[in-house]
Structure 1
Amino acid sequence: MKDTAPDWFETCVSRLTTTSTQRVWSVLVTIFGDLAQDGSDQISGSLITALTRLAGIRAEATRVALHRLRKEGWIESTRVGRNSVHRLTSFGRRQSVAAAPRIYSRDPNMPDIWHVLIASNSESSRKELSDLMLTGDYCSLNASTAMAPGPMPDDLEELLGFESDTMSVPNWLRDLCGPEPLKTAYDQFWDAIQIVERLLPAEGAGDPMRSAVLRVLVVHAWRRIVLRHPSLPPVFLPDDWKGAACREAVSHLLDRLPRPSLSSLEAELMD
């Protein structure tokens, strides 16, 4: 890998990282989740630093983020000579595997059945609803009502619940499921992804390291949006919602930026 990155690469990195605040630990989660999700995969500290440097992240910030991920049980590290290698823990792999279908699926399965839960004004009923919303893919309709895909739980105590495969979706619900800040995030991501699509050379990034960095940044920017809301059919979303178009664009870009092997990336450090 050459020391000086081409202008097109710098522009792509800038567009993928300036739409929101970069949390370095979250970028590292994406690196491990995209490049090293298998139980036998491990990444050297030198490689992580090289990848994050190309993404515009300082080495000190990377070290702090690695420490945080170890402390929170996401990764485990082993000293090998003067270097360290890092891998996802069982907990980290479970989290990555659970999120993968939402991130990578080209045609996500939409639920056939939805259920709605309604709480009374009692504190215990509101708490039951609040606790359930932590366990599933719920969308809050108001302080006492929530809905989620799939059949309703069978152990409800103080909640009114019903399920159906037919729902009338008014505009107010579309606006609730696709609020303006989230629509704006999709619009900004769409603009960025179009620039990357246009600037990326026809032959790809040109070397495994830059390909990995662009791939990770695309996945990371997409992950930060798509995991902020439940997976909803188009009928639940505003007409100008760009989620489906963004998903298609991400899939196309990831085809152009195939996942490089960790061995090829580690070899780049020796050149």
Structure 2
Amino acid sequence: MVAADGAQSPLRTLAGIETSAHDTGHMAVVTTVRTERAHGGVARQVFLPTGPLAFLPLTVDGDDRYCSIVWSTSPREAARLVELSPDALGHALAAAFESRLGGVEVVDRALAVPLTQRHARTYGQPGLVLVGDAAHSIHPWRGQGVNLGLMDVAVLAEEVLTARQRGMSIGHESVLARYTRRRRGDNATMLALMDGFRLLFGSRHPALTLARNLGLSGVDRLVPVKRLLMRQATGHRGRLPAACR
């Protein structure tokens, strides 16, 4: 059985699999909107002083002007935003997003969700394997949670196919062991990296701001380092599954 049932995974809980977790200190304001202009199937994100705001493309009845909103911000600001009227929240979203998709109409209730980073201590047990947010949940910066989840699925599919070709049960412990070995380290690295970015970009301390700007400027000049970070962020590291080559 594959547990792909989200960060609060009931299957993970029923299996007794523990997680390490910590509060990021941010809340995500989530809702659904309809924009004036079509999104073209492109996810967009802007970075604000309080955190990133993402417009994630949706299609409803063939209309590609719908987006799922994830606005990461402080608990105080999140509480203020969810109390706004739909019209006022739409105006706030359009302004924060610099009207990239024109006007914004809020078409669903806005909720504030705590952002907690979690990582399962093990990725499963015989007959059960965790993928995506059930295995790891990450701060929504640069959409890395989706990338990690897709890579989990690609690696698991490859290991299952290999087991079938060898005449093994797909629930065999060795399948889980190989999947875990290929994914858990990479996921842990990305969780740590994204948490570091959250702390670095979320701070307004002058010293950290200066260090951040100098560091980014230096990385931009060091092409090999820049390429390494890009490969880490896009999942192009280690042994890639065939579907991603």
- Judge same fold: TM > 0.5, yes or no: no
Greater relative contact order structure (CA < 8 Å, 6+ sep):
1
TM-score in terms of structure 1 length: 0.29
Greater fraction of residues in strand: 2
TM-score in terms of structure 2 length: 0.32
Greater fraction of residues in helix: 1
Question: Larger Rg: 1 or 2?
Answer: 1
